[in-house]
């Protein structure tokens, strides 16, 4: 039986909302954890679609107050949402992949029990990921705020043409740009939308913020990386039907003259991975890079390669 003093005595389970295939893995996981002696709490929204009798439910705020670990079953979209909500509570997260690529949810469903068993016994590595804190300052003085783990995007709408915007870093003018949009991304988000816009892949441990234009009118507008302590301000100069999007999950309409101020958030996301986690091996696998490690191993002395 797990003792109350165990670092992971109380574990919250969070499943991909309204997913038809989520019931079985969540039920399996709950039974597995209970058999190990952990106290299991089911996220209230998950329980709406996947009720599991015998397990208490809790809101995200209550999970933050009482759980010592959260396990997310779903895709990266689910992890993005939960990570933003639980970051202020400093709760570590483990991701079980029920989605497609799964850059953040890196444990396969088929390997769920043995992988988690080892991790819960202490065989894991921990890393922290930065969040972006975004303030939308409107011309009438109103301010709206959001967090993003992947990226903040200012872009054209479905009906409008290109947008014109001015970019400053730490209140110093950098450039005016005409484009379909601008992505401000964390290193975590460098493998998301920013990657499809020809941005660089950045190791999560690099303290940087990326600015990646989307289809810029001038080819000289290139992706740039700045230190993560910088404050980036994007002012919409021209553009009908433009919008602001945080992690593709929070959306705001923009008007000409609105300012989007993006900086590092006070809280970070804690992720736990299996002991043998290798970021670049994960990239090779997810992005289908050439798998050649065996070919690169040294051969015996004098042998031809």
Active site residues: 76
Strand boundaries in the chain, DSSP class E: 10-15, 39-43, 57-58, 69-74, 93-97, 107-108, 124-137, 143-148, 151-155, 163-169, 172-179, 181-185, 208-214, 224-227, 232-238, 243-246, 250-253, 259-274
> How far is residue 113 from each of residues 14, 32, 52, 127, 287, measured CA to CA in Å?
16, 7, 19, 22, 26
Report the Cα 162 to chain-centroid distance in Å.
28
Q: Structure tokens of 21?
A: 């295939």
d(CA 3, CA 92): 19
Q: Considering only CA atoms, which of 111, 98, 109, 79 is closest in space to residue 272?
A: 79
Burial class (CB in 10 A: 0-12, 13-18, 19+), 271: buried
Beta carbons of 211 and 184 less than 8 angstroms apart? yes
d(CA 272, CA 92): 6
């Amino acid at each position: 039986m797990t003792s109350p003093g165990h670092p992971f005595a109380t574990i919250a389970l969070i499943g991909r909302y309204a997913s038809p295939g989520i019931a079985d893995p969540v039920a399996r996981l709950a039974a597995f954890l209970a058999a190990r002696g952990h106290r299991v709490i089911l996220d209230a929204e998950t329980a709406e679609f996947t009720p599991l009798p015998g397990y208490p439910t809790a809101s995200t705020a209550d999970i933050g107050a009482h759980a010592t670990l959260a396990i997310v079953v779903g895709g990266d979209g689910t992890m993005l949402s939960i990570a933003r909500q639980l970051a202020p509570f400093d709760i570590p997260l483990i991701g079980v992949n029920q989605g497609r690529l799964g850059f953040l949810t890196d444990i396969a469903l088929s390997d769920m029990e043995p992988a988690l068993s080892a991790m819960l016994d202490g065989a894991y590595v921990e890393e922290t990921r930065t969040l972006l804190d975004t303030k939308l300052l409107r011309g009438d003085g109103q301010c709206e705020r959001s967090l993003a783990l992947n990226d903040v995007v200012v872009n054209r709408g479905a009906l409008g043409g290109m947008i014109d915007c001015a970019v400053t870093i730490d209140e110093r003018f950098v450039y005016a740009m005409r484009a379909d949009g601008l992505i401000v991304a964390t290193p975590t988000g460098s493998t998301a939308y920013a990657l499809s816009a020809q941005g660089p892949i950045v190791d999560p441990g690099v303290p940087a913020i990326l600015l990646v234009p989307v289809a810029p009118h001038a080819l000289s507008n290139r992706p740039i990386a700045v230190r993560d302590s910088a404050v980036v301000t994007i002012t919409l100069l021209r553009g009908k039907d433009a919008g602001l999007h945080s992690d593709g999950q929070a959306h705001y309409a923009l008007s000409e003259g609105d300012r989007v101020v993006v900086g590092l958030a006070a809280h970070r996301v804690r992720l736990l991975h299996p002991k043998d986690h290798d970021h670049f091996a994960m990239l090779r696998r997810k992005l289908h890079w050439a798998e050649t490690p065996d070919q690169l191993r040294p051969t015996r002395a004098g042998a031809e390669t």
